[in-house]
A and B are shown apart, each in its own frame.
Chain A
Amino acid sequence: MSAFETGVRTLDEALLGWNRGAPPGLVSRAAVLFDEAARAGDVRGAVGAAVSRGLAGDLDGARRRLHETLTQHPRCAGAYVALGLLGLRDPDPLAQAAQASWALVAARDLAPGVVCIERMAAVALATAGEFMAALQCARTALSLDRDDGEARLWSAMLRLYFGGDLSAASVLVEGPVEQGGSLTSPAAWLGVAAGHYATAEFHEARRALRRAVAPLKVGNAAETPMVDGARRWFRELRGFGPGIPMTGDRWSRDVGGAQSDYARTRAALSAFREAVAGDSVRAKSERVSALDIDGALGGLEARTRRGMLEWGARLIIRGFAEAYLPLTAYLDAPSREELAAMDLFVCDG
């Protein structure tokens, strides 16, 4: 058996034994074996060594190694996937989001039609604030595998908070329930909390949040930042309020009240429109038309609605990524599918 294959088996064993992190001895051994394979000229060994070190906690070193590998092998999709994976598993995913999304978009170009790459690209792009591109990636992932729970979660989050589609809340709520609560990570209950809160089911939302942080131990100082991160995101979700912006009674509050610049600009435009409609000769001489003002009014409202959703997504979806990704990285090992996308594993089928 070659050093690479032994490394893969060791890494697999380490991931099977994942308990709030990989067993340190096994990932170190896998890294050494992958190093041996890399010295023998196998680029997969270089990727495996970097990933093993990243999973052992040396994320900066792993990223540096991956960049070196990419300099030598710029068409190695596995290295891009590994770079994206490590970016998403960083304790501060927002800081790494731009690099992760760049790497995963490159990986998608080199290896199109891979579900987990599309899904990870969706997550990275959403974290980076590129919501439209993220939604497209999530939909591509779902079209490739309609049972992909995580892609569905991100797609629904994006539809709800970026698209303003309240029906996506039910998808969020039903996600873990459909799968008997056995979705990949308990962190997925954060998505359920978002779904419940959007439909004003406040008690259920709070219960879902508690389920998300339930595996974390009370009094464990290392886990407290993750609990606080989830709570902070939920607090902002409550500040954001149920429903979606610019609907019903919310819009007045969302744009800043009756004395806001939006409301007063709108009122001024309406008053100006009346004046222009009342004196068409003067309007013509001043090159102003009621139609132009109508256009400006419509544009103002449409742009404000769109902008409101954009700002809401920046707050809620990026906040969700900030709370959700460290939790999943802590509680769950990378899936075999993700390792397969790095050429470290061969999945049946």
Chain B
Amino acid sequence: MSATQEPNPAMSESRISAIDRQIDEMYTPQTFWQRATSSMVRARYPVVAIIFLTLIALCAILAPQLAPKDPNRIEIFDTLKAPFSYDRDGELEYILGTDSTGRDVLSRVIYGARISFFVGLAAVGLGGGAGTILGLTAGYLGGRVDDLIMRLADIQLAYPFILFAIMILTILGEGVLNLVLVLGVGQWVTYARIARAETLVQREREYVEAVRALGATEWRIMFRTIMPNILTPLIVIASFNVAGVILSEASLSFLGLGVPESVPTWGAMLANSRNQLLSGSWWLAVFPGLAIMFTVVSLNILGDWLRDFLDPRLRGSGQGL
């Protein structure tokens, strides 16, 4: 706004050169990634979040190499060891202590990253994909299809998700795939509603008209022409959604619904810690919880940044967080 004003004689040389630099920056063409990086560095927190998430992702992928011990190995002589316990040789053996059956907490926390990450990404992929396609179809075709899909969405929104998950998992039994399926089904509505609303806007735009005039099939218009133009808000939602799904997964594992006992998860670790809490074994409850919280907070920070960077319109609309 100050660019059109007369230069202020009182302005110092350095101030003017700083503004010059800013204007230069504004008009220097940058690639998408350059803009993303500089915006991220300026916001600071997202950088920390990315570093933390990379670490957790590495834990998930390289768990067998990184974990000091087998996460399921029971050591009956080493039960409930406090963090930083040394063995008889004076070597640091259990950095985060052991649980009531002598299993190494650090190794279990590292392995726990696997389930959280896999389930988070897979469920969002499944729910997001299905929701986007359904929402796009509802918005583009309209009429009966639209009514049917959106009423289904209304019903699901009115159904408390955790009850739905409890019901289905009690019936189907435990298993990673069942967990992904249930959590995925729980997510589609958000994507469908947003995809539909965006499609209703894009459908009327001239470029769609132009592609239609060129003789494109309906199928092509929906998925090749419109879809790329409605993805931005959906990507923003997805980043928050992974955080939400990780929290839901922790709740379900805590309730003992989800993966078999032999697979270490943060939620199940917390469930087991409950009985040891009164005897003061704090490490069993603190570390898995911190792992969940830092992962989720990193994803939320990233989501906040992504929203401001990609789609500032969503700010304050209650979307996402």
B is bound to A? no
